[in-house]
Amino acid sequence: MARYVKRGKVWQYELSIKEADGKYKKIRKSGFRTKSEAIAEASSLESKIKQGFKVNSKNILLSEAFLEWMEIFKKGKIESSTYKTYFSTLAYINKFFAAYTVKEMDRVKYQIGINKASETLSNGTIKNFNRQLRSCVKFLVDEGIIQSDFTQKVSIKGQKVIKENHVKFLNYSEFELFITSLKKQIDPSNTYPITFYIGAMTGMRYSEITGLTWDNIDFDNDVIKVRKTWRYDEKGFGPTKNESSVRDIVIDGSTKMILWRYKHRQEKLFQDLELTNPNPDNLVCWHPRRGIIVISEANKALKQFCNEIGLDHHITSHGLRHTHASVLLYKRVNIMTISKRLGHANISITLDTYSHILKELEKIENKEVKNIFSKINKDIKFGTNLAQQIKKERNR
């Protein structure tokens, strides 16, 4: 049975609950403007407890909870480079929410902190921060440590980022020029062209391309199986960025043939060089002398190639991934299919990343929508018997 107390201008409820260890502990929450609000939330919590909801009295700093969560659920399960971004989120928690425990946090406190962060951080940075923290908060809710997700419906509006001098992706005609020119240079003695080609034709991340082994290419079913990455800093294989990144990417017949020929030319090159164990990990993009090429060197080579073929701007290896997605969007491929192909954790990431392209396509599609309904209106002869008109349409 709940107990309600008015403290100053606000109300507080108090519940006595039995925890998993059999001991009874008090749960208190204040800050309600009216008694009815306190009763409503307390009643909701009592109902959940009766249905088997386990209330955990653990109350630690939000920063401590996030650190514990990321070490248990993220460390060793995602790429090391991605794992490092969680430390940035931890730093922001310490900066904007340092004083709050997990049970003290609510939507108002969270929005105030986000508003403060918006004064100095970009919109994209805050969205990434919110996405990572929200995963932790959902875990806390599931465990019964807190009752609600305070990150829901937060308003995010950070600083605008000044655009760089180069674009992040190629348009369709530039993409055609890029692929046509690149195919002429594919040779196992130089791993740059095949690396760029795979990136452009599949949308794979650079670490996924460098970690691609020949046994992960299913030539019989036209599929590239993304199962691992290459960790250059650790000189070995590592897991994919997330669970959704483990995927099968369908390839076209020409791409399959190029990879098939490259495989046999690579084997012949290694034989001609008479190297001992020339490709120990069976990697696709393996240089006989230099091994795996670090991404910074690949980006320099990509910039030079863009200049050589006459492009006005250059892109990075990650820009090839954006280009791949942009081409598919331009060709009206379903956004869910693109999201799965890219290995995004959820479709909201895809929508957010390519919102600028989707807005441009929306303008074109709006014209098509107008044309569709305009044609329907022209086909319907107003003033005629509606039943006859419908019958006529069905008989067409």
The residues facing 287 across adjacent strands are: 291
Retrieve residue 375's tokens. 């044609």
Q: CB neighbours of 110 closer than 8 A, spacing ≥ 6? A: 97, 150, 151, 154
Per residue in 127-171, pLDDT (tens digit) is 899 999 999 999 888 877 888 899 988 888 766 654 443 448 898
Instruction: State what percent of residues in the chain have pLDDT above 70.
Output: 90
Q: Rounded CA gap, 261 and 1, in Å?
A: 75
What integer pLDDT is reported at residue 62 of this predicted model?
93
CB 229 within 8 A of CB 239: yes
Residue type, 232: Y
What integer pLDDT is reported at residue 109 of this predicted model?
93
Per residue in 27-75, pLDDT (tens digit) is 777 778 898 988 888 887 777 677 665 555 567 899 999 999 999 888 8
The residues facing 24 across adjacent strands are: 18
What integer pLDDT is reported at residue 55 of this predicted model?
57
Name the DSSP class of 75.
T
Per residue in 305-349, pLDDT (tens digit) is 999 999 988 899 999 999 999 999 989 899 999 999 999 988 888
Phi, psi of 233 (to 5 degrees): -70, -25
Q: What angle do CA 188, 191, 192 make, to 5 degrees?
A: 140
CB 52 within 8 A of CB 18: no
Q: CB neighbours of 131 closer than 8 A, spacing ≥ 6? A: 349
Burial class (CB in 10 A: 0-12, 13-18, 19+), 286: buried
What integer pLDDT is reported at residue 166 of this predicted model?
41
Q: Which of 395 and 294 is assigned the larger pLDDT? A: 294
Q: Rounded CA gap, 124 and 377, in Å?
A: 44
Question: What value does the mean pLDDT take over residues 355-379?
Answer: 81
Q: Rounded CA gap, 314 and 300, in Å?
A: 10
What integer pLDDT is reported at residue 33 of this predicted model?
85
Phi, psi of 242 (to 5 degrees): -155, 180
**pTM of the model as a whole:** 0.63
Question: What value does the mean pLDDT take over residues 171-190?
Answer: 94
Per residue in 215-265, pLDDT (tens digit) is 999 999 999 999 999 988 778 898 998 889 999 999 999 999 999 999 999
Q: How far is CA 247 from CA 196, 224, 386, in A?
A: 20, 8, 51
* pLDDT for 180 beyond 80: yes
What integer pLDDT is reported at residue 164 of this predicted model?
47
Per residue in 69-127, pLDDT (tens digit) is 999 888 877 777 788 899 999 999 999 999 899 988 999 999 999 999 999 888 888 98
What integer pLDDT is reported at residue 26 of this predicted model?
75
Q: Rounded CA gap, 175 and 253, in Å?
A: 18
Side-chain-side CA neighbours of 27 within 13 Å: the count stands at: 27
What integer pLDDT is reported at residue 198 of this predicted model?
98
* pLDDT for 385 beyond 70: no
What is the CB neighbour count within 10 angstroms for residue 95?
A: 14
Retrieve residue 365's tokens. 């599609």
What integer pLDDT is reported at residue 249 of this predicted model?
97
Retrieve residue 56's tokens. 């955990």
* pLDDT for 390 beyond 80: no
Q: CB neighbours of 248 closer than 8 A, spacing ≥ 6? A: 218, 223, 224, 225, 226
Integer distance in angstroms from the first to the last C-alpha of the chain? Answer: 69
Instruction: State what percent of residues in the chain have pLDDT above 90.
Output: 48
What integer pLDDT is reported at residue 276 of this predicted model?
82
CB 285 within 8 A of CB 259: no
